């Protein structure tokens, strides 16, 4: 999978049209279409904005990893004794810590 395919896939997972998605970034439907067709590449700031909106890492969006979030990587490296629910709690706690730092 390449960036343009992943962008389209993630947008569709949110059940957004190209127009709806583009409005979040002051972009036209045509601009989103050109990214999804691989005709254009977003600048680094727009790429970060896409990733944040889609709740994925930039690396995931660029297809450099299949790990959606950096918190997933951390949770993966914990002991195998954790249940799925406990792993989700770890991820939520990491997100909480990040929001505290950002404020």
Looking at per-residue confidence, does 8 or 90 come out higher?
8
Structural domains in the chain (count):
2
One domain, residues 18 and 35:
yes
One domain, residues 52 and 24:
yes
Give the closest residue to 14 by CA, choosing from 57, 72, 53: 53
3-class SS shares of the chain: helix, strand, coil, % to 5? 65, 0, 35
Residue 74 domain boundaries? 70-102
One domain, residues 55 and 94:
no
One domain, residues 7 and 56:
yes
One domain, residues 8 and 55:
yes
Contact 78, 98 (CB under 8 A): no
One domain, residues 10 and 56:
yes
| Residue 10 exposed, middle or buried by CB count within 10 Å (0-12, 13-18, 19+) | buried
What is the rounded average pLDDT of the residues 36-40?
97
CA distance 40 to 26: 16
Q: Label residue 83 by pLDDT band (50, 70, 90).
A: confident
- With 90 as the cut, is the pLDDT of residue 29 above it? yes
pLDDT for position 100: 82
CA distance 26 to 12: 19
pLDDT in tens, 55-69: 898 988 999 887 777
pLDDT for position 61: 93
């Amino acid at each position: 999978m390449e960036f343009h395919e992943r962008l389209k896939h993630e947008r569709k997972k949110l059940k957004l049209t190209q127009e709806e998605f583009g409005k979040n970034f002051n972009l036209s439907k045509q601009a989103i279409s050109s990214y999804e067709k691989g005709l254009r590449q977003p600048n680094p700031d727009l790429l970060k904005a896409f990733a944040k909106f889609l709740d994925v890492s930039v690396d995931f969006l660029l297809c450099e990893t299949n790990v959606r979030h950096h918190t997933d990587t951390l949770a993966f490296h914990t002991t195998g004794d954790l249940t799925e629910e406990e792993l989700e709690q770890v991820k939520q706690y990491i997100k909480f810590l990040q929001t505290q730092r950002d404020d």
